[in-house]
Amino acid sequence: MRCIELAEEALAAGDAPFGSVLVDSEGAILKEDRNRVNTVDKTYHPEIELARWAAKNLTLEQRRNTTMYTSGEHCPMCSAAHGWAELGKVVYIHSTEQLTKWHNEFGINGSPVSQLPIQQVAPGVMVEGPVDNLVPIMYELHKAYVEKSV
C-alpha cells in the first residue's frame, strides 16, 4: 500500500512514519504526501496537506467523492481539516487507540492534544479501519522511529 511506502520515506527522513494518499472516485491518485513534523514543522501532517490541496484544486463534488488512504487514523487537527474540506471516506491502517497503546509501550508520555477518533471530531466522515493485516507493519515502523529518536 502506497501510504506505507510514504510512511517509510518519512521515517528515513527523520520524521514520524505517516503517509497518506488521496484518490478520486475511480481510484486514481490525485495527491500524496508524507509526515514532515521534524523536517518542516509540527503541524505538517500529510492529511492536512492533502485536505488543503483538495480545497484549492477540486470541486465540492470531487472532494466528496475522494478516499484518503492513510497509515494511521487522523489526529484531531487532521480530522478537522478533513471535515472542513468536505473530503470523502478515510481508510486507515492503525487506529488512534492502537497508536496510544504503542506509545505507552514505548515509554512515550502523552500528547499535547487529546487523541480522539475521527468521527468524534468530524462525525460526517465515513471511516474504515484498522486494516488488521497491515497493523504489524506500522507497529514496527513506529517502534523504529522511537528507537531512532532515542
Per residue in 39-91, pLDDT tens? Answer: 999 999 999 999 999 999 999 999 999 999 999 999 999 999 999 999 999 99
Contacts within 8 Å (CB) and 24+ apart, 96-102 = 96/72, 98/130, 98/135, 98/139, 99/72, 99/73, 99/142, 102/139, 102/142, 102/143
Q: Which domains does the chain have, with CATH numbers?
A: 2-149 (3.40.140.10)
**Torsion sign over Cα 40, 44, 50, 54:** negative
Question: What's the length of the chain?
Answer: 150
> What is the residue-averaged pLDDT of the chain?
97
Give the pLDDT confidence score for residue 41 in this predicted structure. Answer: 94
Which strand (E) or helix (H) includes residue 102? helix 96-106
Q: What does DSSP say about strands 67-72 and 19-23: parallel, antiparallel, or unpaired? A: antiparallel
Which of 18, 12, 15 shows the shortest CA–CA distance to 78? 18
Angle, helices 46-57/76-85, rounded to nearest 10 degrees? 10
